[in-house]
Each structure stands twice: as C-alpha cells, then as structure tokens.
C-alpha cells in the first residue's frame, strides 16, 4: 500500500490510521490510548488513537503554536 488511510470516528473520538491492509494478528499498547495493530509478521498495520481530539491538541497544536492561527481549508 503506497498511501496511508485515516478515518476519524467522531462519536467515539477515535482516529484510525491504516498503514497496510491484511489480517490483524495482535495489538500492542504503545502509550496510554494509543494502540498498534500488528500482522502475523509483527509489522505495524495500523495505529488507533483513543481520545484523538485531546491527543491532537496536546501533542500537535500546543507543540506548534503557529498552527492555532491557521484556517481550515476543507
């Protein structure tokens, strides 16, 4: 797969990043509210971020204050 796919589920505030399609063999917690989905070879297939809004604000917006003044284009 050449491009990642991202899906945001607003009802649950979950961001899912699909890196590669296939059968998920296991999940590993990388940090609180962040889980990696692995295939049978142990390669990362996806990342799931719970409480995604909070994560984005704390780890991206607050880290890069210049983003706060940007306007959405979509």
What predicted TM-score, i.e. pTM, was given to this entire model?
0.76
Q: Is the pLDDT of residue 71 over 90?
A: no
Which one is predicted more confidently, 69 or 13?
Answer: 13
- Burial group, residue 46, by CB count within 10 angstroms (0-12, 13-18, 19+): buried
Give the DSSP H or E segment for 54.
helix 52-56
Q: What local confidence, expressed as pLDDT, does residue 3 receive?
A: 83
Would you kindly state where each structural domain of the chain is located, as residue ranges?
A: 5-69
For the segment 9-56, what is each residue's pLDDT rounded down to a tens digit? 999 999 999 999 999 999 999 999 999 999 999 999 999 999 999 988
Q: How many CB atoms lie within 10 A of CB 3?
A: 7
Q: What local confidence, expressed as pLDDT, does residue 68 receive?
A: 63
């Amino acid at each position: 797969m050449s491009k990642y796919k991202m899906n945001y589920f607003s009802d649950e505030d979950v961001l899912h990043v699909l890196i590669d399609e296939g059968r998920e063999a296991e999940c590993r917690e990388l940090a609180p509210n962040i889980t990696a989905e692995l295939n049978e070879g142990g390669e990362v297939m996806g990342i799931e971020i719970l409480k995604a809004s909070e994560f984005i604000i704390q780890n991206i917006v607050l880290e890069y204050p210049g983003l706060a003044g940007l306007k959405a284009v979509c």
